[in-house]
Structure 1
Amino acid sequence: MAMKYSWFHHHDCSTPQADELMAKYRKRGVRVQRSLNPDYITWTVSAQLVEDEKPPRPDSRWRNRMWG
């Protein structure tokens, strides 16, 4: 079965934030794009990430054992 990919967007990033995000995604081997927003100051960084079939499980640290 082929893996399904979709784009995740980080909106309104400053130039240093966008550079850092792009470096981190590229280090993981993720396809990433950066586009300048209409205000000509901030960036939108888009990363093509793998979609999972199942939703994430809630963290068991926050579940009260008394309630099950």
Structure 2
Amino acid sequence: MAMKESWFHHSDCTTQQADELLAQYRRRGVLAKRSLNPDYITWIVSARLPESNHPPRADRRWRNRMWG
């Protein structure tokens, strides 16, 4: 069974940031699009990413043993 996917948006990106995000997403095989904001200066980058029902697990490196 495939995971549920939804659109994630990066707003107010410069042209360089938008190009870098698109390149990274396409390298990973993720469907990504960019669209121009109404201010005609910044971009919105949208990517179709998998969604999970469970929150991500905390990294044990940052957990202090004294706090339990």
TM-score range, shorter chain: over 0.9
Deviating above 2 A after TM superposition, structure 1's stretches of 4 or more consecutive aligned residues are none
Give the TM-score, by structure 2 length. 0.93
Q: Which amino acid aligns with 2:39?
A: D
Residue correspondence of structure 1 range 36-55 to structure 2 within 5 A = 36-55=36-55
Query: How much is the aligned-residue C-alpha RMSD, in angstroms?
Result: 0.9
Q: Which amino acid aligns with 2:53?
A: E
Give the TM-score, by structure 1 length. 0.93
The count of corresponding residues between Structure 1 and Structure 2 is 68
Secondary structure at the aligned position of 1:11 is classed as strand
Verify: 1:34 aligned to 2:34, yes or no: yes
* 1:25-52: CA deviation from partner (whole Å, max 9, x where unpaired): 0000000010000000000000000112
Cα shift at 1:59 = 1.6
Q: Where does structure 2 lack aligned partners over 5 or more consecutive residues?
A: none
Q: Which amino acid aligns with 1:11?
A: S
Between the aligned partners of 2:62 and 2:3, the Cα distance in structure 1 is 31
Residue correspondence of structure 1 range 1-68 to structure 2 within 5 A = 1-68=1-68
Q: Where does structure 1 lack aligned partners over 5 or more consecutive residues?
A: none
Amino-acid identity (%)? 74
